[in-house]
Structure 1
Amino acid sequence: MPADRLDFAADRTDRPDARQDAPARSPSERSESRGDPGLPTVADALEVASLQAGIPELLAGSVDVPVRWVHVSDSERVAALLDGGELLLTTGAGWPGDAAALGRLVDELSDAGLAGIVLELGTRFAVVPPALVAACRARDLALVTLDREVKFVAVTEEVHRRIIAGQVEALQERQRLHELFTGLSLRGAPVEIVVRETARALRAPVVLEDLAHEVVVADSFDLAEAELLADWAGRSRRLPPEWTRVPVAARGTRWGELIALPGPAHPAGPATVLEQAATALALSRLADGEDAWARLRAEGLIAALLSERYVTVADIEARLESSGFPVRGRTLYVAASTAAGTGAPGSAGSGSGPTGSAGDARVLSAVVGAERILLLSLPAGSRVPESVLESIGSGAVSDPASSAAELLAAIPVVRRLARQAEPGAVLRVAERPLARLAAELSGDHRLQEHSARLLAPLIRHDDATQGDLLRVLRAVVAHPGNRTAAAAASHLSRSVFYQRLTLIADLLGADLDDGETLSALHLALLAHGR
């Protein structure tokens, strides 16, 4: 009795987001577009009370497919009336019974982009024809049967209510995103803030990469950085279909891409979120200049290293590698300069190292307070180029390191040693074993107690008189056995210098000509810093 469920082509209702001129998508393609904003899936539609009353049973296909509309028909010609994305409710009253005809019908429905079939048993088919199940499985088209009669009009109302509610939610979310990213743009928010807010909106990892597939900024959200960024360039070039990516471009210039890894469904869709964020990033790039991303990448990495903003060494190694600073199989150095205004020889991803040979060396450089920190990645066995040493001015350079862990361990040593360098001098850690020891033990309370105990009389005197005894003592330990050089380094006349020495010896009750005493005082000064 199919008379109450006839098709009326003239009364067809436009489906939301239906595209009359778009080619139909296969079920597998539609399942990949699970993130269609605002649309329930076949699985969501099966949860409505009116369908649950019919005791639905899934026999074939995927239910992870968006439903754009509900269509009711018993005609075998229904495929010609579909736009794609419909959930078909039918008793099959007008359907053929032979296997070949059922196979052709399923092919037509799948080619038309149908989301799924809900077949009510009892009117045309007492049991589901095996040929129908086989055909739906072959095309990965959802086939659901109902053992009890249901009101199709009630099903239509409930599912359409969900569709419309989802569309409204998607519109509201688009407006919220527009306000969020417009506000960030107007405030001139840093790139890392835009990327962070994008990851928070999607509840998924988000990466900003340049045209060389090198990471500029990444927010791993709840994923380990090592897992997110491992072999990033290679994975990105393979264009994983589950990733969502949009270009960051403006005025005909493309700088890179903003990429989101899979996450929970978003009302507006991940592409919409990324497009809004990419617009904000493009405006920021226009305002900040051509080298903005290279500078940001270097500053972000070095800041993370200095402040230890990483969970594991593997995480920071992955960040370095994915940003175009190779670590594995390379010789690594860290240098620190107290001359913050000295020009940096290069930056990671610049395409040429300080030697001028493309790809031979990579340098990260950033100014942090009054320091400039440089990280160098050179071919295995290489020494620091003279051009880099000259650019440092006054500072220090580490021993060669062969791993990220060794590089991390060298940073505090080099920074501390750089503070001891005379103007124009570049100290090497290998030549300053005592400075290395002081840096490695800097967190040990016993070293701090040693420093405070030995230097306390001099510190009290300098604080009370605005004196220079600590400075004189540093000159003495820097030039042991050479009082003339020590006096020159103190910028004092010899007579005044010797007066200071006598006062220091009296306050400390120590013999400044004794080697062990000088070593103890030298270690105390290194632990005290400047």
Structure 2
Amino acid sequence: MTTVSDRPAIPSNFPEPPLSVRQVLALERVLAGEPEVVAGAGHLDRPVRWVHVAEAADVGVMLNGGEMVLTTGVLLAGDEEKQAEYIRSLHRAEAAAVVLGLGRAFPRPPDVMRRAAERCGLPLVVLHRPFPFAELTEEVQSRLVRQKFAAVSLSESVRTALTALITAGAPLQALLDEIAQHSACPVVVTNLAHRVLATAGERSAVDDVLRDWERIARQAGGSEGDGWIRAELGGRGERWGRIVLCGHRGDIATGRLLADRAAEALVLHRMLGGAAGRTWEEQSAQGLLTDLLSGVVPARQLLPRARAAGLPVNRRTFVPLVVRDGEPAELDRLLRLLGLRGLVAEIGGQGDGSTAVLLSLARDQDADALTEHFAARLRTESHRAGTVVAAADARTAWDDVPTGLREARHVADAVADSAPALDLPAVVRLRDVHLRGLVRLLRDDPHVQSFAERELNGLLCRSDRDLLAVLRTYLATGRNKSRTAQLHHVSRPALYRRLEAIQARLGVDLDDFEQAASVHIALLAHDAQQQ
């Protein structure tokens, strides 16, 4: 007798898959009938949708597909043509299997039915001992009903959880994490160009999917039979993406249910403008750039995400930039206008107006010239004098990108709030920030903090922001009184009075280089600590 073994166990957070022919034959009640598979042994993993008792030769017209048909063959005995037609009829109706109880009609497996079933690939099982068909019908039907109920419960559970997240204003990632938890497999959201916008699931499993995403995208993924379940995303007659359950281990029907519920929630989330109205493309870029900046995830592990997001990474030159006072949408539009490839995303989450830009250039392109051109066009088109483009040196190795992004962020922070007073180049680099950059690196040192408070105590204790602002501009402009008066829109005599008040409160002579340098360092440290 053919060995019957169970399928691998699947996670318990979704309904059990439908019983297969193999599993039905392994039920205790069925084993009592001593089942033997005499044909179609290679098709025992077919799902059983229902169990039906039928004797008529044209039984196929009464079936919808997926049934396990039980028969004694009493109406087929002695007529080989009817026996063959019986099998062909079941095959045409896409029955899951046929079970023949041996007895008076057929004391042994009929060769005609066996050969016909083998040709059709239809499992034919004979029972060597008398077996009450009613017991098998009751057993299988009750299990199927329980599974349908479990599927409905899962549907409502998923819908309730996702609706609660949307109502709470949760970001896209929170919804995908919830979906991945229910589906127990990697979840990928793409646009219509197959570029990955977001993922969820166990990190190693997601990375395995993304590592081969270019091939998967070209082939539109595996088949549903392989656990690749897709649902389209769109509304009002327009499609704009899809969600894919990658390698779902449950049955196809449950996978479709999960994908459909997920698609409904994602469409609603997008329509309601979740995550502060940012597009999914923006959220995707932000997540990737934030992970690169933080360094928590090694750059090598982020490479599949970058490639799947459409960023060219093979044999490229990367230019990390941080732009102050630049809108992400504006920067993204400018990249497309200039024909440049890259990622753009707001960073920091502190409302400081910082946007990271990671340019990906061909090796034969002049990175410095293109960066300068990008910065010049940005200043021209934005019409904002305070826009600062901070850049790190170009990198040819992906593993060096995180360090470059942090360097660009450091440069941008070092000149924060100082752009109007400083004569900055179009692209500010580490070599341009000098002492300001060093002080910012040391801002958290207790000795530096104590020094700043001691030097500026005469102004800080009175919270005189006006005098502090004048001092900041005066020192940043190299103690240029004319320039300081111009920037603060005051007359020279008025500026002199303010400088005298500052010197009196601090007890210093700002005409003395060493004392002025000491106050300048203290002020840089104070400003760095406030950011």
User: What amino acid does structure 2 have at the position aligned with 1:372?
Assistant: S
Once the two structures are overlaid, the 10-residue window that deviates more, 269-278 or 373-382, is: 373-382
Match of 2:28 among 25, 34, 49: 49
Alpha carbons 2:319, 2:358 under 8 Å: kept: yes
**Are residues 49 and 269 of structure 1, via their aligned partners in 2, closer, same or farther at CA, if it must alter by over 3 Å?**
same
Match of 2:391 among 394, 397, 410: 397
**Are residues 251 and 487 of structure 1, via their aligned partners in 2, closer, same or farther at CA, if it must alter by over 3 Å?**
closer
Residue in structure 1 matched with residue 404 of structure 2 by the alignment: 410
Residue in structure 1 matched with residue 272 of structure 2 by the alignment: 287
**Are residues 197 and 266 of structure 1, via their aligned partners in 2, closer, same or farther at CA, if it must alter by over 3 Å?**
farther
Match of 1:457 among 408, 428, 451: 451
Once the two structures are overlaid, the 10-residue window that deviates more, 313-322 or 200-209, is: 313-322
Structure 2: distance between partners of 1:436 and 1:315: 34
Aligned: 1:117 with 2:98: yes
Alpha carbons 1:299, 1:365 under 8 Å: kept: yes
Structure 1: distance between partners of 2:16 and 2:282: 36
**Are residues 390 and 217 of structure 1, via their aligned partners in 2, closer, same or farther at CA, if it must alter by over 3 Å?**
same
Structure 1: distance between partners of 2:318 and 2:101: 70
**Are residues 193 and 528 of structure 1, via their aligned partners in 2, closer, same or farther at CA, if it must alter by over 3 Å?**
closer
Alpha carbons 1:103, 1:131 under 8 Å: kept: yes
User: What amino acid does structure 2 have at the position aligned with 1:246?
Assistant: A
Secondary structure of the 1:160 match is: helix
Residue in structure 1 matched with residue 64 of structure 2 by the alignment: 83
**How many correspondences in the alignment?**
476
Secondary structure of the 1:161 match is: helix
Residue in structure 1 matched with residue 139 of structure 2 by the alignment: 158
Structure 1: distance between partners of 2:56 and 2:502: 108
**Are residues 267 and 528 of structure 1, via their aligned partners in 2, closer, same or farther at CA, if it must alter by over 3 Å?**
same
Q: How far is 1:85 from its partner?
A: 1.2
Residue in structure 2 matched with residue 364 of structure 1 by the alignment: 344
User: What amino acid does structure 1 have at the position aligned with 2:185?
Assistant: A
Structure 1: distance between partners of 2:509 and 2:193: 60
Pairs within 5 Å for 1:29-40 = 39-40=18-19
Alpha carbons 2:395, 2:401 under 8 Å: kept: yes
Structure 1: distance between partners of 2:256 and 2:70: 31
Alpha carbons 1:204, 1:222 under 8 Å: kept: no
Residue in structure 2 matched with residue 317 of structure 1 by the alignment: 303
Structure 2: distance between partners of 1:230 and 1:486: 60
Q: How far is 1:250 from its partner?
A: 1.6
Residue in structure 2 matched with residue 205 of structure 1 by the alignment: 186
Pairs within 5 Å for 1:305-454 = 305-308=292-295, 310=297, 312-339=298-325, 342=327, 344-347=329-332, 354=335, 356-358=337-339, 360-367=340-347, 368-369=349-350, 370-380=352-362, 381=365, 382=367, 383-384=370-371, 386-388=373-375, 391=378, 393-421=387-415, 422-423=418-419, 425=424, 426-429=426-429, 431=431, 451-453=445-447
**Are residues 471 and 99 of structure 1, via their aligned partners in 2, closer, same or farther at CA, if it must alter by over 3 Å?**
farther
**Are residues 476 and 162 of structure 1, via their aligned partners in 2, closer, same or farther at CA, if it must alter by over 3 Å?**
same
Residue in structure 1 matched with residue 8 of structure 2 by the alignment: none
Aligned: 1:249 with 2:234: yes
Q: How far is 1:228 from its partner?
A: 2.2
Listed one character per residue, the Cα deviations across residues 49-68 of structure 1 (whole Å, up to 9, x for unaligned) are 31121233445133322222
Secondary structure of the 1:87 match is: strand
Structure 2: distance between partners of 1:129 and 1:376: 72
Listed one character per residue, the Cα deviations across residues 459-516 of structure 1 (whole Å, up to 9, x for unaligned) are 444358627999999999989xx666999699986878999999699xxxxx959x9x
Residue in structure 1 matched with residue 291 of structure 2 by the alignment: 304
RMSD of equivalent CA atoms? 4.7
Q: How far is 1:299 from its partner?
A: 2.9
**Are residues 504 and 223 of structure 1, via their aligned partners in 2, closer, same or farther at CA, if it must alter by over 3 Å?**
farther
Secondary structure of the 1:208 match is: strand
User: What amino acid does structure 2 have at the position aligned with 1:429?
Assistant: R
Q: How far is 1:376 from its partner?
A: 3.0
Q: How far is 1:265 from its partner?
A: 1.8
Structure 2: distance between partners of 1:225 and 1:477: 52
**Are residues 80 and 526 of structure 1, via their aligned partners in 2, closer, same or farther at CA, if it must alter by over 3 Å?**
same
Structure 1 length normalisation: TM-score? 0.72
Q: How far is 1:396 from its partner?
A: 1.1
Q: Report % sequence identity.
A: 26
Structure 1: distance between partners of 2:480 and 2:251: 74
Residue in structure 2 matched with residue 5 of structure 1 by the alignment: none
Once the two structures are overlaid, the 10-residue window that deviates more, 211-220 or 50-59, is: 50-59
Structure 2: distance between partners of 1:436 and 1:82: 81
Structure 1: distance between partners of 2:509 and 2:120: 91
Once the two structures are overlaid, the 10-residue window that deviates more, 414-423 or 176-185, is: 176-185
Listed one character per residue, the Cα deviations across residues 146-202 of structure 1 (whole Å, up to 9, x for unaligned) are 333221111111111112222222233333334334444444443322222222221
Secondary structure of the 2:356 match is: strand
Higher helix residue share = 2
User: What amino acid does structure 2 have at the position aligned with 1:169?
Assistant: A
Q: How far is 1:434 from its partner?
A: 6.8
Listed one character per residue, the Cα deviations across residues 103-160 of structure 1 (whole Å, up to 9, x for unaligned) are 6654432221111122334555555467755654554433334333221111111111
Structure 1: distance between partners of 2:479 and 2:164: 64
Residue in structure 1 matched with residue 207 of structure 2 by the alignment: 226
Alpha carbons 1:61, 1:143 under 8 Å: kept: no
Structure 1 unmatched runs, 5+: 1-34, 506-510
Listed one character per residue, the Cα deviations across residues 238-271 of structure 1 (whole Å, up to 9, x for unaligned) are 2221321111122212221122112232696222
Alpha carbons 1:38, 1:170 under 8 Å: kept: no
Residue in structure 2 matched with residue 217 of structure 1 by the alignment: 198
Secondary structure of the 1:387 match is: helix
**Are residues 156 and 415 of structure 1, via their aligned partners in 2, closer, same or farther at CA, if it must alter by over 3 Å?**
same
Structure 2: distance between partners of 1:503 and 1:512: 10
Residue in structure 1 matched with residue 7 of structure 2 by the alignment: none
Q: How far is 1:205 from its partner?
A: 1.6
Listed one character per residue, the Cα deviations across residues 385-440 of structure 1 (whole Å, up to 9, x for unaligned) are 5234553712411111224322111122111111222315355436359789969x
User: What amino acid does structure 2 have at the position aligned with 1:210?
Assistant: N
Alpha carbons 1:328, 1:402 under 8 Å: kept: no
User: What amino acid does structure 2 have at the position aligned with 1:410?
Assistant: G
Structure 1: distance between partners of 2:128 and 2:79: 22
Listed one character per residue, the Cα deviations across residues 315-339 of structure 1 (whole Å, up to 9, x for unaligned) are 3222222222222232222222332
